[in-house]
Structure 1
Amino acid sequence: MNTQTDTAVSSPASSMSTAVILAAGRGTRMKSERPKVMHPLAGQPMLRYLIDNAAQVFDRIVVVVGPGMEDVAALAAPHAVVVQHDRLGTGHAARQAEEAFGTGDVAVLYGDNPLITSGTMRALLERKRRDDTALALLAMEPADPGRYGRVVMQGDQVTRIVEWADANDQERAIGLCNAGVLCASAGDFRRWLSEIRNDNAQGEYYLGDVVACAVADGGRVRAVVAPEDELRGINSRAELAMAEACVQARLRQAVMAAGTTLIAPDTVFLCVDTVLEPDTVVHPHVVFGPGVHIRRGTEIHAFSHVEGAVVGPDASIGPYARLRPGSDVGEGARVGNFVEIKATTLGAGAKASHLTYLGNATVGSGANIGAGTITCNYDGVFKHQTEIGADSFIGSDSVLVAPVRVGDGVITAAGSVITQDVPDGAMAFGRARQSNRDGYAQAFRQKLKNKKEQG
């Protein structure tokens, strides 16, 4: 049953290569109501990595989902989606996509093995197409083989896969481990899938049994060895954290190679779409959420959090700054320590140096926002806009109650509450009147002491 693109399943082109991605797992060990393949890595669902890389290698992609996984199907669009209504194992899941195989080569991938690169996928497909290979599989040589299935070789050919539980001591000493990803011609795959049985403790059809079918057929089975970090399966929160570390290492290396300085790389966290232009400098303990573009020459100081924002060039952020979605910081502008901005534009050279909140605001070029300033942008129902003109000076501890416009070149006195528009060049005072009572402080303190003595 194809839930999205019926034509792709019913009329496949004979020479097209196909990637089938198995994504029907519920991820019981994740202890989550969210489908396993929807858990994010560097701000992006893990399934998206596999789809994007497979799209660079294969002509067609088919994603196998479970019932009720509309969010997974939507993420897979516009690729074809089929539903595995009964979860009877990985072999059964692959059979659900048989109509989409065509007559070209087919690779079966796993949605919870998201870090396989396009280069490794291409090597797998090329291995299948060389030397009369009937079946190609991905294998790895992990530092700790643990309970992985072992790949038994004779020369350059795979003779069998033995599961750890069934292996003897000699077989467990083998360092080459099975990653489970297979590639064969569509016709062979269909035949072998029809031959596998579910006479095991779980009563499931295992895709890995295809290897034994290929060997029994007399076909050549060959392994492509890939790095362990690419072939990590994700079945638990701990394994998700390990995969996140792998993705972050890749992203950090990429931005440094492109000209960004990360002073303490292991403490900086990036999203897959983070853009850091050359000559940016990122200090320790900085987190980038989705949708960030940092322009050339900008410096992000320690303990800052940036999400959904465009910054620079030559701007300065932090330390301890928070930029929320919709923020646009202009050339040479400064967002200092303990400053939060949201849906706010800072013009070139504008400064909010410390202890400030700017929400739904436009700040003109060269403006200076004093410490403790806030824009009151929310009335409990609607968000309102504050406009601060170019070269204005907003005194410390000012409160700007939106909607309000402060013109160009304005000064607001420290401690003012601004509720009305201020024209260009004016100085605004919004303070309550101060009165001083001479000598009253000592009498007031004595009064309080008397009350305390009286209980």
Structure 2
Amino acid sequence: MTSRPLAVIVLAAGKGTRMKSATHKVLHPIAGKPMLLHLLDRAAALRPVRTIVVVGAGREQVEAAVQPLGVIVVHQAEQLGTGHAVLQAAGALDDFAGDVLILYGDVPLVSAETMQRMVARLHESDAPAAVVLGFRPDDAGAYGRVMADSRGRIKKMVEFKDASAEERSVSLCNSGLTAITTNDLFTLLRRVGNDNAAGEYYLPDIVMLAAADGHHSAVIETAAEEVAGVNSREELAALESGWQHTRRRQAMADGVSLVAPETVWFSHDTVIGRDVVIEPNVIFGPDVSIADGVTIHAFSHLEGARVEEGASVGPYARLRPGAVMERGSRVGNFVEMKKAVLGPGAKANHLSYLGDAEIGAGANIGAGTITCNYDGFFKYKTVIGAGAFVGSNSALVAPVSIGDGAIVGAGSTITADVPADALALVRPLQTSKVGWANRFRGLMRARKEAK
């Protein structure tokens, strides 16, 4: 996506003390995925030849999270500011010549398009030394300020702690995200000092150092929401809310009907087809795929599940990992599925648990049916054939197979295979004692009156 090789540096060394958590700040999830991994996914769209994550406190957690991605991890032993953090990546880029994009692990929702705009601006005809991503929040607060001309050429950048009252009145703020060439980056960083109110080495100081050398830098702008950072649980919740709002709008634009949009919760990887109806208070955990024409009724929870065309889920249903509902199948209220396949047109309408099961096309699972799949040590499978009918309140003790077209009488406990088209009854013979109930009530009333 760029004409020159690109490296990405992600700063993730901060302690995140305001989160008050044993989990590293950048590993707290948004839509079920650690915020750092959101950012790395977006950066990967630019096809960088090298990605470096700078870690500090809690480094073991971060290293474990990014290890499968093949990124380079470097350690910032002391947190001495953003400039000092970036400098820790110098060794990992000794043999690299190209562009560098500097990102922040706790600013996770920057789009790949915005990242690409930053790199592209670096190579426009005026050739800025660095490109800074700016934004205009409703409350500029303690953000660093950017003073720029109408073409976006930076006149001055200053941290809030060091800014004058006049500079603090400027609305354009610095997100900290920066694009620059490797040669300029480390040459300038090694000249950055810490003579400031915080006694830290600031990354933005490279802009003014370049200016002192007669080389201007540029700012491009994006929406404040895109560069919102996370330093507290409240800010994390705000980003989650914003992400969900955007995802709901996208779902509706793609042809999904959300009856009460604000009550539906998506995961980062939820896949939904067209003409799907989602009623209120539905939650999608990770790894859920919903085909066209599905209805998901209120108060259902889905995770690790696949729901095929025309199926119906809920209300109050739970689909756990490994649940597959094939075309036109149905689960109703208070039905739970786990590692189970419900065949085309099959249904379990009420109060059932289907675990480690394979249920054939058109089968009917009566209310209160349970596949008893666990003996305290191992899991076992239940197979229910096509067109089978399982009566209410039945317990199927796995491993067991119910043949095609077989009928299991209500209240049965099935411990052996049932042949196709057979009737299985496991209950005592019913007897009726004529007049017994009337005699019983008379006896009880007499006893009560005698007291």
TM-score when scaled to structure 2? Answer: 0.91
Aligned residue number for residue 279 of structure 1:
275
Of 105, 109, 122 in structure 1, the residue corresponding to residue 103 of structure 2 is 109
Aligned residue number for residue 99 of structure 1:
91
Return closer, same or farther for 1:363/1:159 CA change in 2, 3 Å cut-off. Answer: same
Alpha carbons 1:373, 1:396 under 8 Å: kept: yes
Of 296, 319, 322 in structure 2, the residue corresponding to residue 323 of structure 1 is 319
Q: CA deviation at 1:272?
A: 1.6
Worse overlay, 101-110 or 208-217: 208-217
1:366-381 matches, cutoff 5 A: 366-381=362-377
Q: 1:137-177: per-residue Cα shift (whole Å, max 9, x none)? A: 01101122233222222443222233334444433332211
1:20 equivalenced with 2:20 (yes/no): no
Worse overlay, 426-435 or 264-273: 426-435
Q: CA deviation at 1:201?
A: 5.4
Worse overlay, 334-343 or 214-223: 214-223
Return the alpha-carbon distance in structure 2 between the equivalents of residues 267 and 314 of structure 1.
23
Alpha carbons 1:271, 1:289 under 8 Å: kept: yes
Return closer, same or farther for 1:198/1:352 CA change in 2, 3 Å cut-off. Answer: same
Return the alpha-carbon distance in structure 2 between the equivalents of residues 353 and 245 of structure 1.
33
Aligned residue number for residue 3 of structure 1:
none
Alpha carbons 1:312, 1:331 under 8 Å: kept: yes
Aligned residue number for residue 42 of structure 1:
31
Return the alpha-carbon distance in structure 1 between the equivalents of residues 262 and 440 of structure 2.
57
Alpha carbons 1:67, 1:83 under 8 Å: kept: no
- For 1:393, the aligned partner's letter is F
Aligned residue number for residue 169 of structure 2:
173
Q: CA deviation at 1:313?
A: 1.0
Alpha carbons 1:135, 1:219 under 8 Å: kept: no
Aligned residue number for residue 76 of structure 2:
84
Return the alpha-carbon distance in structure 2 between the equivalents of residues 438 and 169 of structure 1.
97
1:127-206 matches, cutoff 5 A: 127-130=121-124, 131-155=126-150, 156-200=152-196, 202-206=198-202
Return closer, same or farther for 1:30/1:445 CA change in 2, 3 Å cut-off. Answer: farther
Worse overlay, 72-81 or 219-228: 72-81
Worse overlay, 191-200 or 66-75: 66-75
1:26-65 matches, cutoff 5 A: 26-57=15-46, 58-65=48-55
1:338 equivalenced with 2:324 (yes/no): no
Return the alpha-carbon distance in structure 2 between the equivalents of residues 185 and 450 of structure 1.
99
Return closer, same or farther for 1:408/1:212 CA change in 2, 3 Å cut-off. Answer: same
Of 336, 339, 360 in structure 1, the residue corresponding to residue 356 of structure 2 is 360
Return the alpha-carbon distance in structure 2 between the equivalents of residues 209 and 40 of structure 1.
32
Q: 1:78-102: per-residue Cα shift (whole Å, max 9, x none)? A: 1222222333222111011113342
1:347 equivalenced with 2:343 (yes/no): yes
Return the alpha-carbon distance in structure 1 between the equivalents of residues 149 and 221 of structure 2.
15
Q: CA deviation at 1:433?
A: 4.1
Return the alpha-carbon distance in structure 2 between the equivalents of residues 399 and 132 of structure 1.
74
Alpha carbons 1:22, 1:93 under 8 Å: kept: yes
Helix, strand or coil for the counterpart of 1:127? Answer: helix
Give the aligned length: 442
Task: Determine what percentage of the aligned residue pairs are the same residue.
Answer: 50
- For 2:65, the aligned partner's letter is L
Q: Provide structure 2 residue ranges, at least 5 long, that are not aligned to the other structure.
A: none
Q: CA deviation at 1:444?
A: 5.5
Q: 1:110-155: per-residue Cα shift (whole Å, max 9, x none)? A: 0111101011001111112221211110110112223322222244
Return the alpha-carbon distance in structure 2 between the equivalents of residues 178 and 446 of structure 1.
88
1:199-348 matches, cutoff 5 A: 199-200=195-196, 202-348=198-344
Q: CA deviation at 1:380?
A: 1.0
Q: 1:256-292: per-residue Cα shift (whole Å, max 9, x none)? A: 3333222322221111211112222222221111111
Helix, strand or coil for the counterpart of 1:170? Answer: helix
Return the alpha-carbon distance in structure 1 between the equivalents of residues 52 and 341 of structure 2.
43
Helix, strand or coil for the counterpart of 1:207? Answer: coil
Of 34, 37, 56 in structure 2, the residue corresponding to residue 66 of structure 1 is 56
Return the alpha-carbon distance in structure 1 between the equivalents of residues 166 and 176 of structure 2.
21
Q: 1:299-332: per-residue Cα shift (whole Å, max 9, x none)? A: 1111111110111111111111110000111110
Q: 1:8-47: per-residue Cα shift (whole Å, max 9, x none)? A: xxxxxx9522111111223211111111111111121111
Q: CA deviation at 1:447?
A: 7.2
Alpha carbons 2:9, 2:54 under 8 Å: kept: yes
- For 1:140, the aligned partner's letter is F
Helix, strand or coil for the counterpart of 2:255? Answer: coil
Q: Provide structure 1 residue ranges, at least 5 long, that are not aligned to the other structure.
A: 1-13
